[in-house]
Structure 1
Amino acid sequence: MNNYKNDNTARRYIAHVSIFGTTQIHLRNPYIVAWWSAAFPGFGHLLLSKYLRGFVLFIWEVVINLKSHVNLAMIYSFQGNIDMAKEVLNTRWLLIYIPVYIFAIWDSYRTTVDLNKIYVLAERENHRFNSFSIGAMEINYLDKRNPILSVAWSFLMPGLGQLYIHRIIGAFFVIIWAVIFFYYSHLLEGISLLFSGEIKQATSALNKEWLLFFPSLYGFATFDSYMNTVENNKLVEREQKNFFEKTYQHPSFCIVKGKKVE
């Protein structure tokens, strides 16, 4: 049940509140979105709430990256061992990886530019949207959250920041893949050995290919939760402003150059 049933009379909408989360369009920097796609294909689209495309590109990145040994080659190149980096690369998979990688960057940039234009038009139209949704499984509503808490929860475990702001779909996806990365990278095992003083064993226990996924995952989870918390807070203020204006403000009330005119 929603507190407002969409009548589909508007051409564009700024936001949609459902039991699975709050989806909204807002102004974004296309270069930042493209950068996240470059850091990890799929992240740029997830920032735009284009989940299906983001999930496909993310899974593609993980599978093809591991098959072509891109992460392993990066590790060798960081160590200055260029010959070994060339040797471990599997060109049969690498040549498939490159065009999709470029597409992810280009498409996220293009989509961001388009959504920014749509936001400007939707903001001018300023059509009403629901702010409360309740169902048998979940309850979601617009309210203000602390962006610092979103960052803190994301640092503790990727995906918890998204859960904090009720972005259920993105949170589950990030948490599931975080668990997979933790398991196959043996990161927690390495940390346990490190605390025990077994530095060599801790280093040898790590799977470097899987471990290299973590910087992008942690960075994305933190940035996404912080950004969406800030934008959700703005959306709350916008919804309250529209409600008060429609409910309590006199139709003839207007402000010209900062002065009230009756």
Structure 2
Amino acid sequence: MNNYTNDNTARRYKAHVSTLGTTQLHLRNPYIIAWWSAAFPGFGHMLLSKYLRGYSLFIWEVIVNVKANVNLAMIYSFQGNIDMAKEILDTRWLLMYIPVYIFGIWDSYRTTVDMNRVYLMAEREEHRINSFSIGALEINYLDKRNPVLSIIWSLFIPGLGQLYIHRILTAVFVIIWLVIFYFFSHVQEAVVLLFLGKVKEATSVLKPEWLLFIPSHYGFAIYDSYINTVENNKLFEKELQNHLKDNYQSTGFKIRKGQKLK
């Protein structure tokens, strides 16, 4: 049985299976990736598996957003209180926030276009990839998973969907930041008070500048786990198809093209 590894014997590989997860190239819509970067800087790059860049932009967004009071200004704007929104904005931080925010959108779009080209070239090379990785701490392998289960687990707690499909880096990052957002927004305290019928108290304990981070966080976790489950399933089927051809298909086997009916 052949053992395939990404050993630089080809110019490009479609995927790599490691103990920390399965990283692969596949066609993506640049506008969707750019939209996720607009929803929350860093998400677009994380969808592309550009983790270091994605993590940096994500942390930048949280720090500068809170310091500049961007979320609070958005809340006042939604309420029609434009003057208050202008008053609380800290321009010292805001002027740093805008260029990086625009860069995140532009760079994720540009990177998606480039990676789509790389994928098409890797698809033509058809170099085989490793499908199993074992280490001291983890085991990872290509397998089919249920995309619906990825969504369900992500709805319970963002990051669990990523753990289900073995995207360890994204899962740990998403879970850690979910805990941070929960803690500073006091959302769980508000939920308990709401169940007790104390609506005013539940509203008063909430920190809206942190609360606004949570919907995007949930949305990203759901989308990322679903898309990667679907693409991992496609990769598994392709790898299995190649394995069966190499090891079980007769060398003389050919499929004849049928003639057109007149």
Unaligned runs of 5+ in 2: none
Indicate whether 1:116 and 2:91 are aligned.
no
Amino acid at match of 2:212: L
The Cα of 1:257 is off from its aligned counterpart by 3.4
Structure 1 residues 49-96: Cα deviation after superposition (integer angstroms, max 9, x where no partner): 000000000000000000000000000001111111111101110010
Structure-1-length-normalised TM-score: 0.96
Name the structure 1 match of 2:77. Answer: 77
The answer on whether the counterparts of 2:6 and 2:13 sit within 8 Å (CA) in structure 1 is no
Residue equivalent to 1:17: 17
The Cα of 1:256 is off from its aligned counterpart by: 4.5
Q: CA deviation at 1:246?
A: 1.1
Q: From the superposition, tell whether residues 12 and 202 of structure 1 become closer, same or farther in structure 2 (CA, over 3 Å).
A: same
**Stretches of structure 1 lacking an aligned partner (at least 5 in a row):** none
- Displacement of 1:38 after TM fit? 0.2
Give the Cα–Cα distance (whole angstroms) in 1 for the partners of residues 60 and 252 of structure 2.
56
TM value normalised by structure 2: 0.96
1:50-199 equivalences in 2 (<5 Å): 50-199=50-199
How far residue 9 of structure 1 moved from its aligned partner, in angstroms, is 1.0
- Which one-letter code corresponds to 2:142 in the other structure? L
Deviation at 1:130, TM superposition (A): 0.6
Segments of 4+ moved more than 6 angstroms: none
One-letter code of the match for 2:14? I
1:76-122 alpha-carbon deviations (Å, 9 max, x no partner): 00111111111110111001000000000000000000110111110
Q: Alpha carbon RMSD of aligned pairs, Å?
A: 1.3
Q: Secondary structure at the match of 1:244?
A: helix
C-alpha displacement at 1:249, in angstroms? 1.9
Distance 1:75 1:256, change over 3 A: farther
- Structure 1 position 233 matched with structure 2 position 243: no
Q: SS of the counterpart of 1:155?
A: helix
Per-residue deviation, 1:172: 0.1
Aligned pair count reads: 258
> Match for residue 257 of structure 1?
257
Shift of 1:258: 5.6
SS of corresponding position for 2:72: helix
Tell me by how many angstroms 1:252 deviates.
3.9
Query: Partner amino acid for 1:180?
Result: I
Residue 254 of structure 1 aligns to a residue whose secondary structure is coil
Contact 2:187 2:211 in 1 (8 A): yes
The answer to whether the 8 Å contact 2:190/2:205 transfers is: yes
Please show how residues 197-208 of structure 1 align to structure 2 within 5 Å. Answer: 197-208=197-208
SS of structure 1 residue aligned to 2:190: helix
Return the offset for 1:244.
0.8
